[in-house]
Structure 1
Amino acid sequence: MTADRTGPVVRTPHGSVRGRYEQGIAVFRGIPYAAPPFGPLRFRPPRPPTPWDGVRDAGAFGPTAPKPPYSEAFAHYLSDPEIPGDACLNLNVWTPEPTPVARLPVLMWLHGGALTRGSSAVPVYEGSAFARDGVVCVSVNYRLGVEGYGLFPDAPPNPGLRDQLAALRWVHQAIDAFGGDPDRITLCGQSAGAISAGALLAAPQTQGLIRRAVLQSGPPEASDRDKVRRMVRRMAARLKIPATAEAFAAVDRRLLLSTQAEVGRLSSPVLGGPAFGIVVDGDVVPRDPFTALLDGDAAPGVELLMGWTRDEYRLWLVPGGLLERVDRLGPVALAGAMARCHAGYEVPRGYRALHPDAGTAEIVGQMVTDHLLRVPLHRLADTRPGTSYVYEFAWPSGLPKLAACHALELGFVFGTGDVPESKKLAGEGAPQELRDAMHTAWVRFVTTGEPGWEAWDAAHPIRIFGDGPPYTAYGGRDAELALWSTGPTASETAPAADFRAPGAELAAAVRRLRRSTGARRR
């Protein structure tokens, strides 16, 4: 590393970059880790960037991947900057000591956004707090939506995931020059970023590259290929083109994004529907990542920190007033949740018995949250006792109805609760003590592999970050999650009168619900 009057200079595998000192932290933004994925590289695996001579300025965030904006209802709560330009495969580094002798632990961050939105430029993900605490923080942009996760007969699957793999390889090769230890990389993501991190954990190509992993509100999973194909085919039908990468590459980029947004408008974690996702491809994803991790074939010895927010579903249901619509639909909404979760009637009955004062929307939301998140993460922890740590974020937002919703914990993890973009979701008054406790737990895990509470075992310890000091609860979700393993399946039981919904009525209700929301996983 060298420095001049304008900032630190570090040599990367493709050329030198000049960052900035910001409050004692060296910050490098917009470093290309792969070539712009357009022209002949569109819908193709990432390629190395063209090396450059001299010193490249790394003072500003690089271009973000093409993406549609959030709907007005969601933009009220979530920020998603758009930075134009083709060189969107870039990353950022925050480091306290940009010198190879430092050998500091590394956190590599994968943002959420349902694989259709988000970027490393979201202010909530600012990495200075990690750097101040001795962690080199790296955040990554990757291709999104149809550009990154479309499934075509004439192009390889999962280019967005392949981008992330290329970034991980770049970090492993280059991070020592920024003060990081390539043997202590923690891969961390939230929502779609956590799903991506789980897929990379299970990828044969990453073995030996990842020391630890953090999965926030997203389990390892592979999407059904037909579900992804339906998204592509619906877009092709609207555009009146063949469902091929060649045909999609010829469409105006803005038209492609607006078509993607319109086709994906009816998809959500609660309602299901076609959506973009990581698919088994026989290469980076040779089989379902969840199965591979459960079997112990993948990522042996990798320590895991994983968890959820208490009221994940609130971010999916509150914007646009869907929460009230679900409550009004009552039994029809419950039947829809059963279909969404492939659950028998014993499951909603069990939730009613455990939570007699809960409304329909809460029952539906918690059922879907458990089905999508808590059940798989519990199962994953069960197969890795002693090296897994589980948390629940339970502090309620200061904004009406959101409670402890999806993505609310991010400002606490990054120590960015004071930025306006965090307050869009948390409101005012987020307690500093809780911010410090949660951020410190992540720093401890990245540094030592132990976040500060006991590892998962038969007692099922879950660290609760809520009102007051954090504490450990034992088996706090066991009663609900047991319903998924002991209750009969939908095909094994007859419908009960209180949950009966005729097929036509149910189908119409689900269509009404889908029309009323643009909700997606963040």
Structure 2
Amino acid sequence: MTDGRVTAARVKHVRVPTAYGVVRGAVERGVAVFRGIPYAAPPVGARRFRAPGPPEPWTGVRDALAYGPTAPKRPYAPPLDRLLPDPAVPGEGCLNLNVWTPSPKPDPAGLPVLVWIHGGSLLHGSSAVPVYDGTAFARDGVVLVSVNYRLGVEGFGVFPDAPANRGLLDQLAALAWVRDNIAAFGGDPDRVTVAGESAGAVSVAALLAAPRAAGLFRRAVLQSGVPAAVAPEAARGTTGLIAKRLGVPATAAAFAAVDPEALLTAQTEVTGGGDPLTGRTSFQLVVDGELLPRDPAEALRSGAAAEVDLLVGATTEEYRLWFVPGGLTERVGRLKLRLALLKFRIPNATARTYRANRPDATPGEILGALATDLLLRVPLNRLADARAGAPGASYVYEFGWPSPVQRLGACHALELGFVFDTLAHPDTVALTGPDAPQELADAMHRAWVEFAATGDPGWPSWDTSRPVRLFGPAGPALVLAPRDDELRGWEPYRSART
């Protein structure tokens, strides 16, 4: 793996023209890599809280040899910082992207393109995370594009004098850049797949529901994230708390005058508390009436983006990344479990089924399994159900290989090194341990490649038999309606909530 920097002494350079000027990348491990290409103007000064504008054209050749600046952010808090390394690159032009391609030349046929939108709770992450290295995709014939976008209050704070969902607008601008420029890198603008994990998957779901994104991609991948957005009034609280801490009005004009480091400090203090049980203050996408005219879950269930092929799934034990490192699993006893069931109005019969299927599980593990399904597996299954018979096919997977690191099991984010085939990188090893099965990475990565190339990852599309590709410790396997008794237990919950 490289660190994102190359030297002329040991690499071959390649040049590609874009709509804004020529960029110079490098050939690394047999593929051409271009890093830090601006797709929009730097969001600083008067642009800090505005919708993204086009980058300034340049003359001559612009080096694209190192990752560009990342959005303002702070690292994950301990102990997650050791499991989820999150590099920061200084600079102001954070609206940039990277391209890995096997053929940096226009081709009438064109190669499939996969655009990656990183996760991180809309607060963390970047395209410079080494796990997202796109070499394996380019090696296997897919042009990989990874994108930075504004985070935190700059990207998702809700103000009366600024557009909402600015980070999502950034992603939309990046997809428009791909449409207009990717052919010069050997990609086919008519064969674009947009993919993301966690908050990146929530973003992808919102793009599926956004009328302005129509036609920018043909396929989509949601990894451990679901369609979700809230009303603006429900999301203003986080912005208001930061404003109160800073002693300024909750307006974009006032926030733009605040020093970026002071703003980050206040944001971290406001969003850093809580846990998965008590909840925490956070940022969310909002139904703003413009980019998102309606709730994405409702829009997709009603037929939005029905022509787009969809690949969705989650890990078997998502909760363990959030529960285990901080000891929450052990702190949940029978009383806390009972109170949580009441708080979230989970039917007693549903909880009994989970207990019966896990006779050796602790109360914390039972709660984690319920939370995983409530927040991810159930809504993803329902999304696939709603799309049955749609022009675009739907495919469902589950990642079940358990990490031996800190008893994390098949936790949130564990599948990323398998999808990108980056198991050897030390940042991946922090989560997987040193002996993760390469054969499983080969299979999972190949499925994503095939989906981007053909729309078919290699197993049956979703129908009444509910086929799921399980990437587990015994290798890939097709399972019909896994743990269907547990899923059926949520039907009373849906009836009560709708």
The one-letter amino acid paired with 1:442 is W
Contact 2:347–2:492 (Cα < 8 Å) also in 1: no
Is the partner of 2:212 in helix, strand or coil? helix
Q: Aligned-pair distance for 1:337?
A: 4.7
The residue number in structure 1 matching 2:249 is: 242
The one-letter amino acid paired with 2:396 is V
Contact 1:89–1:143 (Cα < 8 Å) also in 2: yes
The residue number in structure 2 matching 1:81 is: 87
| Structure-2 separation of matches of 1:342 and 1:163 | 37
| Structure-2 separation of matches of 1:28 and 1:359 | 48
1:137-176 matches, within 5 Å, as 137-176=144-183
Is the partner of 1:284 in helix, strand or coil? coil
Is the partner of 2:457 in helix, strand or coil? coil
TM-superposition CA deviations, 1:242-298 (whole Å, max 9, x none): 1111111122211211211111122555543431011001111110111111111x2
- Report the more deviating stretch, 282-291 or 348-357: 348-357
- Choose the corresponding residue for 1:427, options 420, 427, 433: 433
| Structure-2 separation of matches of 1:483 and 1:15 | 57
The residue number in structure 2 matching 1:41 is: 47
1:296-315 matches, within 5 Å, as 296=303, 298-315=304-321
The residue number in structure 1 matching 2:229 is: 222
* Cα RMSD for the two superposed structures: 1.9
Is residue 2:485 matched to residue 1:485?
no
Is residue 2:24 matched to residue 1:21?
no
Q: Structure 2 unaligned segments of length 5 or more: list them.
A: 1-8
Contact 1:398–1:428 (Cα < 8 Å) also in 2: no
Q: Aligned-pair distance for 1:50?
A: 0.6
Structure having greater relative contact order (Cα 8 Å, sep ≥ 6): 1
Is residue 2:385 matched to residue 1:382?
yes
The one-letter amino acid paired with 2:421 is G
Is the partner of 2:79 in helix, strand or coil? helix
- Choose the corresponding residue for 2:60, options 27, 48, 54: 54
| Structure-2 separation of matches of 1:153 and 1:145 | 17
TM-score of the superposed pair, with normalisation by structure 1: 0.90
The residue number in structure 2 matching 1:252 is: 259
Identity value in percent: 58
Is the partner of 2:144 in helix, strand or coil? strand
Is residue 2:271 matched to residue 1:264?
yes
The residue number in structure 1 matching 2:210 is: 203
Is the partner of 2:327 in helix, strand or coil? helix
The one-letter amino acid paired with 1:431 is P
| Structure-2 separation of matches of 1:37 and 1:144 | 11
Is residue 2:14 matched to residue 1:8?
yes
Is the partner of 1:72 in helix, strand or coil? coil
Contact 1:344–1:490 (Cα < 8 Å) also in 2: no
Q: Aligned-pair distance for 1:224?
A: 4.5
Contact 1:81–1:121 (Cα < 8 Å) also in 2: yes
Q: Aligned-pair distance for 1:425?
A: 0.5
TM-superposition CA deviations, 1:425-459 (whole Å, max 9, x none): 00110011101000001101111111111111111
Is residue 2:449 matched to residue 1:440?
no
Is residue 2:355 matched to residue 1:352?
yes
Q: Aligned-pair distance for 1:233?
A: 1.3
Contact 2:325–2:406 (Cα < 8 Å) also in 1: no
- 1:44/1:487 CA distance change after superposition, 3 Å: closer
Q: Aligned-pair distance for 1:393?
A: 0.4
Contact 1:215–1:307 (Cα < 8 Å) also in 2: yes
Is the partner of 2:194 in helix, strand or coil? strand
Contact 1:227–1:275 (Cα < 8 Å) also in 2: no
The residue number in structure 1 matching 2:334 is: 330
| Structure-1 separation of matches of 2:168 and 2:368 | 29
Contact 2:273–2:280 (Cα < 8 Å) also in 1: yes
| Structure-1 separation of matches of 2:72 and 2:418 | 28
The residue number in structure 1 matching 2:105 is: 99
Contact 1:270–1:368 (Cα < 8 Å) also in 2: no
| Structure-1 separation of matches of 2:70 and 2:317 | 30
Q: Aligned-pair distance for 1:66?
A: 0.3
Contact 2:33–2:100 (Cα < 8 Å) also in 1: yes
The residue number in structure 2 matching 1:284 is: 291
Contact 1:344–1:488 (Cα < 8 Å) also in 2: no
- Choose the corresponding residue for 2:365, options 362, 365, 368: 362
Q: Aligned-pair distance for 1:338?
A: 4.1
The one-letter amino acid paired with 2:387 is R
Is residue 2:472 matched to residue 1:469?
no
- Choose the corresponding residue for 1:134, options 137, 141, 154: 141
Contact 1:338–1:345 (Cα < 8 Å) also in 2: no
Contact 1:417–1:423 (Cα < 8 Å) also in 2: yes
TM-superposition CA deviations, 1:158-179 (whole Å, max 9, x none): 0000000000010011100000
| Structure-1 separation of matches of 2:275 and 2:38 | 32
Is residue 2:171 matched to residue 1:184?
no
- Report the more deviating stretch, 123-132 or 72-81: 72-81
Is the partner of 2:62 in helix, strand or coil? strand
| Structure-1 separation of matches of 2:385 and 2:33 | 39
Is the partner of 1:331 in helix, strand or coil? helix
TM-score of the superposed pair, with normalisation by structure 2: 0.94
Q: Structure 1 unaligned segments of length 5 or more: list them.
A: 492-522
| Structure-1 separation of matches of 2:29 and 2:381 | 40
TM-superposition CA deviations, 1:343-395 (whole Å, max 9, x none): 34333233223333321111111111111111111111112236111000000
The one-letter amino acid paired with 1:351 is Y
The residue number in structure 2 matching 1:403 is: 409
| Structure-2 separation of matches of 1:363 and 1:77 | 23
TM-superposition CA deviations, 1:197-218 (whole Å, max 9, x none): 0000111011111110010000
Contact 1:270–1:365 (Cα < 8 Å) also in 2: no
| Structure-2 separation of matches of 1:223 and 1:365 | 24
- 1:288/1:487 CA distance change after superposition, 3 Å: closer
- 1:490/1:305 CA distance change after superposition, 3 Å: closer
Is the partner of 2:83 in helix, strand or coil? coil
| Structure-1 separation of matches of 2:483 and 2:27 | 45
Contact 1:337–1:367 (Cα < 8 Å) also in 2: no
The one-letter amino acid paired with 2:352 is R
